[in-house]
Amino acid sequence: MRPPLADTAGAAMRARARMVERLRSQGVRDERVLAAMMQVPRHRFVQEGLAFRAYDDTALPIGYQQTISQPFVVARMIELLHAGRELGRTLEVGAGCGYQAAVLSFVAAEVFAVERIRPLLDQARENLRTLRRPNVRLKHADGSVGLPEAAPFDTIIVAAASPAVPQALKEQLAPGGRLIIPIGAGEQRLVLVERHGGSFRESRLEAVRFVPLLTGTE
Ligand code: SAH
């Protein structure tokens, strides 16, 4: 039997609270990020049949051979970018179903999210519509070249793995800007790039697993 709607909403909120507690136990400390993870109903970003797994700490399929990122990785990447500074104007490359863009919208001043697969972008638009986030803009575009018309960005977050840091993304960082991206073909690691004037400092961080960053649109 299907539970009444109110129970379902309550159950989702409890599942989300448990997810946030798990994120804490996994080492996420940034209260702003944890609050944002509590705000976004992740079950609305996955297909109905997978909603019961929406608050598990796992990536899930969203169609077109793509996935919604694992909650821990979303929280961790935003926490790493946020460390000690405001996210400001943020570019997300690889919006997928729009989940991370929604989380970012509670932490960053402005979010520009691009996705190369049109039906996924449409899905993201639909998913975000009900949340009514005033500070998110979505675009169907190849984000491997950044988003020149909206650059520069204080922060850039890439949700797909690349063999090397795309030069265009570095160039679109504002002074003092930071970029986080999974790098590697087989084994991938998060790389944090910080811009200081004309020079860039790169730090290699933890191992991750992302779908590949592709070029062009479809
Ligand atoms: N941010 C998503 C993760 C989606 S998976 C979330 O919240 O869960 C990564 C996405 O990156 C896929 O949808 C894929 O189509 C997209 N992608 C890969 N290469 C891209 C590119 N060059 N430009 C824009 N999107 C890209």
Integer Rg of the chain from CA: 17
When the candidates are 3.40.50.150, 3.40.190.10, 3.40.50.2000, 3.40.50.12780, the CATH number that belongs to 59-208 is: 3.40.50.150
Ligand 1 center–CA 83 separation, angstroms: 24
DSSP classification of residue 160:
S
Instruction: Parse the chain into domains and list their residue ranges.
Output: 59-208
Closest CA to ligand 1's atom 9: 94
The per-residue pLDDT for 152 is 98
At 183 the pLDDT is 98
Query: DSSP characters for 90-132?
Result: EEEE--TTSHHHHHHHTTSSEEEEEESSHHHHHHHHHHHHTTT
- Which residue minimizes the CA distance to atom 19 of ligand 1? 213
pLDDT over threshold 70, residue 159: yes
Q: 121-156 pLDDT, tens per residue?
A: 999 999 999 999 999 999 999 999 999 999 999 999
- Tell how far the Cα of 2 is from the centroid of ligand 1, in angstroms: 34
Mean pLDDT for all residues in the chain: 95
**Distance of CA 94 from the midpoint of ligand 1 (Å):** 3
Mean pLDDT of the 45-72 span: 96
Report CA torsion sign: 74, 80, 83, 89. Answer: negative
Determine the Cα–Cα distance for residues 110 and 173; give it in Å rounded to an integer.
15
- Give 120's pLDDT tier (boundaries 50, 70, 90): very high
Average pLDDT of the residues in 30-54: 96
pLDDT at 7: 64
Which residues are tagged catalytic? 69
In whole angstroms, give the CA distance from residue 114 to residue 94.
Answer: 6
Q: What separation in Å is there between the alpha carbon of 96 and the centre of ligand 1?
A: 5
Mean pLDDT of all residues in 113-121: 98
Nearest ligand 1 atom, CA 216: 22
Give whole-number Cα distances, 19 to 26, 67, 70, 123, in Å.
Answer: 10, 19, 11, 24
Atom of ligand 1 nearest to the CA of 59: 8
Q: Supply the pLDDT for residue 97.
A: 97
pLDDT of residue 186: 86
Angle formed by the axes of helices 5-25 and 71-82, to 10°? Answer: 60
Helix (H) or strand (E) holding 183: strand 173-183
User: CB under 6 Å to ligand 1: residues?
Assistant: 66-69, 93-96, 99-100, 114-117, 120, 142-144, 159-160, 211, 213-215
- Residue 4 above 80 pLDDT? no
Question: Confidence class of residue 6 from pLDDT cuts 50, 70 and 90?
Answer: low
Atom of ligand 1 nearest to the CA of 159: 9
Both structure tokens of 172: 């679109």
Q: What is the pLDDT of residues 76-105, one digit of tens each?
A: 999 999 998 999 999 999 999 999 999 999
